[in-house]
Amino acid sequence: MSAESEGARTWGIATGIFRGYFIKRRDKYEKLRDKLLRARIFMPVERWLSQAIVYSLIAAGIAVSVYILLRYLILSLLAEFTLSEFDLGVSLMLALIAFLGTYVGFLYYPSIKAWERKGKIDMNLPYAISYISAMASIGVYPFSIFKKLAGAEETYGEVSRELKLLVRDVELLGFDFITALKKLVATTPSSNMRAFLQGAVTTTLSGGDMGSYFVNTAQEYMEERRKHYQDFIQTLELFAEFYVIGVVAAPLLLVVVLSVLVFLGGASIEGLSAIIYLVIPLGSAGFIFLVGTVSSE
């Protein structure tokens, strides 16, 4: 048996110790299961939590080992190495912090991943809907449109990755198109994509024309996108005014005034240095961070 397969077997035994505990309590972790699906982490919730426990125990052991090693390196240079009750207390505290931090990280990672995927989907969704409407306007069958879109991952990113699940459910798992759409509606992390797909399902079930729905929805989404960019430009204009006044004009005026006062002996050089080396750079960095935050939204 190779070392890799032996390691996988050992890891499976380690996680299997806790898996039975979580299987019995699977209903309590239904929300975590949904988050794993939305994050596209294809792993049973009991296995995910079992790995969380194992990694948390490893993190606790590493934290204690690092602390003892540092104590040994420091005390061996100063005096004889001994572990006191204080060291035992610190080790237990570090182990607890490392264990809880790692475990909580496993619990929240799917939510963070799903939120990240939601942003990427929403960013490309209006353009993907425009592509869908263009194809629908010339009479292409809806599933064929979604299949082509699923293959355009370089252009539409996370939207294409979502639609690959739709294609998989239809072509490999044998679901009909509407059932596969409903499954994707239930698991996608993007509320905008959920509303778009749910509208397609409702239109089809009510006897409407899905092609017309795609065309009309594309017009609505592009109009919303256009309005979003207009609001963003107005926000940038407001930020630019604050930047010019608060980070450029006011500090430069203070620099001129303080330079004169320093020359006349009425002010200290430290105040002038603080404005030049702290206020202006930090103000500019804060403005860049603010614009980046707004842009990412």
State whether 139 and 105 are in the same domain: no
Domain count, the chain: 3
Torsion of CA 51, 55, 60, 64, to 10 degrees: 150
Please report which confidence band the pLDDT of residue 1 belongs to, taking 50, 70 and 90 as the band edges: very low
For the segment 180-196, the average pLDDT, to the nearest whole number, is: 90
**Final residue before a domain boundary, out of 63, 98, 114:** 114
Q: What is the pLDDT of residue 59?
A: 93
Which of 188, 223, 258 is where one domain is finished?
223
Split at pLDDT 50, 70, 90, the class of 237 is confident
User: Do 129 and 107 belong together in one domain?
Assistant: no
Structure token digits, residue 157: 């990113």
pLDDT: which is higher, 295 or 54: 54
Q: Within this chain, do residues 14 and 105 fall inside the same structural domain, yes or no?
A: yes
The residue-averaged pLDDT of 267-278 equals 77
The residue type of 155 is T
Say if residue 2's pLDDT is above 60: no
pLDDT band at 160 (very low <50, low <70, confident <90, very high): very high
Lowest mean pLDDT among 81-95, 96-110, 148-162: 81-95
Angle between helix 30-38 and 85-137 (nearest 10): 50
The last residue of a domain, from among 223, 240, 269: 223
Give me 216's structure tokens. 């009309």
Q: Are 147 and 167 in contact (CB under 8 A)?
A: yes
56, 147: one domain: no
Q: Which residues contact 258 (CB under 8 A, 6 or more apart)?
A: 267, 271, 272, 275
Under 8 Å between Cβ of 159 and 191 = no
Range in 1-10, 171-180, 280-289 with the lowest mean pLDDT: 1-10
Residues 243 and 256 grouped into a single domain:
yes
Q: How confident is the model at residue 96 (pLDDT cuts 50, 70, 90)?
A: very high
**148 and 94 within one domain:** no
> Are 52 and 110 in a shared domain?
yes
What is the structure's pLDDT at 80?
63
For residue 106, what pLDDT is reported? Answer: 93
Confidence category of residue 287, pLDDT binned at 50, 70, 90: confident
Same domain, 205 and 286: no
pLDDT of 82 reads 66
- Distances from the Cα of 222 to the Cα of 53, 126, 189, angstroms: 46, 6, 21
| One domain for residues 253 and 152 | no
pLDDT at 117 over 80: yes
123, HSE (Cβ side, Cα atoms, 13 Å):
13
Tell whether 149 and 79 lie within a shared domain: no
H helices of the chain, in order, are 3-24, 30-38, 45-78, 85-137, 142-150, 153-156, 158-171, 177-187, 191-205, 210-243, 250-264, 269-274, 280-296
φ/ψ region of 174 (left if φ > 0, alpha if ψ in -120 to 50, else beta) reads left
| Domain identity same for 68 and 141 | no
Same domain, 43 and 142: no
Q: Which domain holds residue 87?
A: 3-114
- Rounded to 5 degrees, φ, ψ at 126 are -60, -40
